[in-house]
Amino acid sequence: MPLVTSTEMFQKAYKGGYAIGAFNVNNMEIVQGITEAAKEVNAPLILQVSAGARKYAKHVYLMKLVEAALEDTGLPICLHLDHGADFEVCKSCVDGGFTSVMIDGSHHPFEENVALTKQVVDYAHAHGVVVEGELGQLAGIEDDVNVAAHSYTDPAQVQEFVERTGVDSLAIAIGTSHGAYKFKPGQKPALRFDILTEVQNRLPGFPIVLHGASSVIPEYVQTINEYGGNMPDAIGIPEDMLRQAAGMAVCKINIDSDLRLAMTAGIRRHFAEHPDHFDPRQYLTDGRDNIRDLVKRKIVNVLGSDGKA
């Protein structure tokens, strides 16, 4: 099966009250850990690549790794550009074989965001590629840009944005944020489900995307700190809130930080238990296994996409 777009995945997810996991990939072990888990529970997948990942691994290596995963698993997989900053990077991914791109114009004024997003949609659609846009801005760190405070999505703008741009899905800001430090110690995690409900009412049947949706699973942070790490208190999005969003209009849930924590915890534990090891295949196996276990847990306990491939 060739790479697919997310169109059919989202239609089924919306109707079925579940969400597709969109996992960030940067190297072979991450691709293998994610796809092995999805294969075990028969889940459709979105693998997403950031500008940072393309810089780290090069487009062609990531493309070939994902093609290998496709051949190895036979799963429906969509390959998506995460946070495309401008037309050129989106065009390069469309031309380079991706089936989905995000144009993130969320930091621009509304009219500029509309114009930029429409330019990407026109090009991508002409090449059979789908587009995710964004309205509202998440707090947190992403590609070295640190946004201090949320700028929640204004539900009054979503209909006009979708109609004028022709986007296939829309990322919104309801209180999630990028990175491992989403809430301050002592702060109670909360999401603006009122905004999500209002967006859903204004865009019936339209797929919504949640970025910054890692749960920052405490056992990984504890393992990292137990074995020589020094992470401050890290708090993510509670799993029950993600399940609630997946049952609503949210069809795509983005996860990166949890993958990073799982891999680092596996490798740190490996070195603590085997200080004499220096073969990368030994410690990377533990990192990859942790990613596989994490992704299976996400698919079954949070996303509900198991058995839907």
- List 19, 213, 294, 302, residue binding ligand 13P (CB under 6 A): 213
Phi and psi torsions of 85, nearest 5°: -90, -25
Task: Give the Cα-Cα-Cα angle 149, 151, 153 (nearest 5 degrees).
Answer: 150
> Residue 169 interacts with ligand 13P (CB under 6 A)?
no
User: Of 126-134, 183-191, 210-218, 221-229, which part binds Zn ion (CB under 5 A)?
Assistant: 210-218
Give how many residues touch ligand 13P by CB under 6 A. 14
Instruction: Build a one-symbol-per-residue string for 7-26: x at contacts with ligand 13P by CB under 6 A, - elsewhere.
Output: -----------------x--
Residue 174 vs 308, nearer CB to ligand G3H: 174
Paired strand residues for 177: 139
Query: Which stretches of the chain are DSSP H helices?
Result: 7-16, 28-41, 51-57, 59-73, 87-95, 110-126, 155-165, 193-202, 218-226, 239-246, 257-273, 280-297
Taking CB within 5 to 8 Å according to partner kind, which of ligand G3H, ligand 13P, Zn ion, none is near residue 52?
ligand G3H
Residue 6 vs 223, nearer CB to Zn ion: 6
Collapsing DSSP states into helix, strand and coil, what is residue 305? Answer: coil
Given the rule CB under 6 A, which residues bind ligand G3H? 24, 50, 52-53, 82-83, 142-143, 178, 256
Instruction: Build a one-symbol-per-residue string for 226-245: x at contacts with ligand 13P by CB under 6 A, - elsewhere.
Output: --------------------
Question: Which DSSP string corresponds to 105-166?
Answer: -TTS-HHHHHHHHHHHHHHHHHTT-EEEEEESB-EEEETTEEE-S-B---HHHHHHHHHHH-
Taking CB within 5 to 8 Å according to partner kind, which of Zn ion, ligand G3H, ligand 13P, none is near residue 136?
none
Distance of CA 66 to the CA centre of its chain: 16
Which helix (H) or strand (E) segment holds residue 98: the answer is none
Phi and psi torsions of 264, nearest 5°: -65, -40
> Residue 178 interacts with ligand 13P (CB under 6 A)?
yes
> Residue 214 interacts with ligand 13P (CB under 6 A)?
yes
Question: Which DSSP string corresponds to 11-38?
Answer: HHHHHHT--EEEEE--SHHHHHHHHHHH
Locate tokens 């190297």: which residue?
A: 27
- DSSP conformation class of 86: S
- List 6, 113, 254, 305, residue binding ligand 13P (CB under 6 A): 254
Name the minimum Å distance from CB 71 to Zn ion: 28
Q: Tokens for 251?
A: 């069809």
> Residue 211 interacts with Zn ion (CB under 5 A)?
yes
Name the minimum Å distance from CB 178 to ligand 13P: 4
> Residue 99 interacts with ligand 13P (CB under 6 A)?
no
User: Of 13-21, 93-101, 150-158, 207-215, which part binds ligand 13P (CB under 6 A)?
Assistant: 207-215
Q: Annotated active-site positions, please?
A: 82
Taking CB within 5 to 8 Å according to partner kind, which of ligand 13P, Zn ion, ligand G3H, none is near residue 35?
none
> Residue 90 interacts with ligand 13P (CB under 6 A)?
no
> Residue 252 interacts with Zn ion (CB under 5 A)?
no
Which helix (H) or strand (E) segment holds residue 2: the answer is none
Interface residues toward ligand 13P, by CB under 6 A: 24, 82-83, 178-179, 211-214, 254-258
